[in-house]
Amino acid sequence: MTITSRSIRDAFVSRFGGQPKLFCAPGRVNIIGGHTDYNGGFVLPTTTGLHTWVAIAPRADRTLRVFSRIFDSLEEIDLDRIEKCDDAQWYQYVKGVASILEGAGHTLRGADIVIDGDIPLGGGLSSSASLETALAFALLDCAAIEIERGELAQLCQRVETEFVGIRCGIMDQYVISRCAKDHAMMLDCRSLEFQLVPMPADARLLVVDTGVSHRLPTGEYNSRRNECEEAVARLAGKIPQLGALRDLGLDQLEENRNLLDDRLYRRCRHIVSEIQRVEDACSALRRGDARRLGELVTASHASLRDDYEISCSELDALVEIMNACPEVYGSRLVGGGFGGCAVCLVHAPHLGRVMDKVQTEYAAQLGRRPWAHAVTPSDPVGPAPAIEPFVAQ
Ligand code: ADP
Ligand code: MG
């Protein structure tokens, strides 16, 4: 069911009573730049038009009473005694946001909260960063605290790295905090400089969920990150100015290949070539050259599959099905990998037909019709749209 400001307000009123304030944060899809963010490189994400919603009203004490509509579950959190639990439950993110904000010196108020969302969970469209950012924005507003959006993104990233235990980069929280409607964001994950680039009018992004998740994403994600760090440590002996794989050129990688085993070499080759592809993709986007952008996106998938080794048979099948449509410019897996969604860039007039064809063909090959969504890049985290007055017919 579609979530609206009215539906989240009504859910709050029936559970807690009173009048809440409403906030929402988009999910994101990264057009290109897989795993480059934590290597200090470039990424080119945009928002999806799917959101996490938060309804909030202050309480007189220091308790958060939080209801998740998705999990149909209520949690109470004492702001003076936030305990980390080992299980990766949804409220771990809520505790993490509260704990990191308080730890950064932002004294929060107790609140009643309802959370809902339409971003698939664990699908690579960053429902977790969307939840963190929506909730942090709402909790800060409730306590009348204003912070700069870049700081908001960095605090929310720390929820994942310090509380949930995923050593993610800054991309997700940053684009969710600072994107703009109908634009993509070329972000330098080292300096945090960014440029907003309009999406071409004649090309649309389509995300499709494989519906599978093969491995524990935390373990594989963190192991890739460790491999990148190990490669930098080995190469730094020969290339002293190397701080991150961002600083490495393809020629330098080839010259120093003997310092790495084959696995680390291929991890590096993916990151170094992918950072270059993001720069090329940004130029293509500026020119409105959807064909070139599509080629780069498809090359990104091949590199993630063969060198970074984070694809799986369902993602490869889905990307092949997408690329077999003549109206598709290119496609790739998104997010951590091993399942979740793939994205393709489609010639806009044929979007509906491509969506149906991809879903039908995937169902024929893999036995289930996948969830699909046509991306409409939206506003960043902030107050939810005003509720339309009810007009009697
Ligand atoms: P991704 O960020 O790719 O969607 P993650 O595994 O990083 O996948 O995060 C998914 C988790 O985030 C969910 O399992 C849940 O715990 C939490 N989450 C995200 N959105 C919501 C929501 N609207 N309501 C409750 N929990 C949510
Ligand atoms: Mg996540």
pLDDT on residue 388: 78
Would the CB of 218 count as within 6 Å of ligand 1?
no
Would the CB of 127 count as within 6 Å of ligand 1?
yes
Candidates 172, 209, 247, 307; catalytic one = 172
Q: Which of 67, 86, 97, 127 to mutate to test the pocket of ligand 1 (most atoms within 8 A of CB)?
A: 127
pLDDT on residue 392: 65
pLDDT on residue 217: 55
Element (H, E) at 46: strand 45-58
pLDDT on residue 84: 84
Summarised one tens digit per residue, pLDDT across range 176-194 is 999 999 999 999 999 999 9
Beta bridge partners of 166: none
Summarised one tens digit per residue, pLDDT across range 121-131 is 989 899 999 99
Q: Report strand pairing: 111-117 vs 63-68.
A: parallel
In this prediction the pTM is 0.95
Would the CB of 118 count as within 6 Å of ligand 1?
no
For ligand 2, a single-atom ion, the residues with CB < 5 A are: 128
Task: Please tell me whether residue 34 adopts helix, strand or coil conformation.
Answer: coil
In this structure, are residues 106 and 147 in contact, taking their beta carbons and an 8 Å threshold?
Answer: yes
Distance from the alpha carbon of residue 359 to the mean position of ligand 2, in angstroms: 24
Residue nearest to atom 2 of ligand 1 (CA): 126
Q: Which of 131, 310, 381 to mutate to test the pocket of ligand 1 (most atoms within 8 A of CB)?
A: 131
User: What's the one-letter identity of residue 4?
Assistant: T
Summarised one tens digit per residue, pLDDT across range 213-256 is 876 556 888 899 999 999 999 999 999 899 999 999 999 999 99
Is pLDDT of 86 > 80? no
Site of tokens 């409607």: 181
Q: How confident is the model at residue 336 (pLDDT cuts 50, 70, 90)?
A: confident
Ligand with smallest separation from the Cα of 48: 1
Domains located in the chain, CATH noted: 5-197 (3.30.230.10), 203-219+263-374 (3.30.70.890)
Summarised one tens digit per residue, pLDDT across range 116-172 is 999 999 898 999 999 999 999 999 999 999 999 999 999 999 999 999 988 889 999
Mean pLDDT across the chain: 95
State phi, psi for 26 to the nearest 5 degrees.
Answer: -75, 165
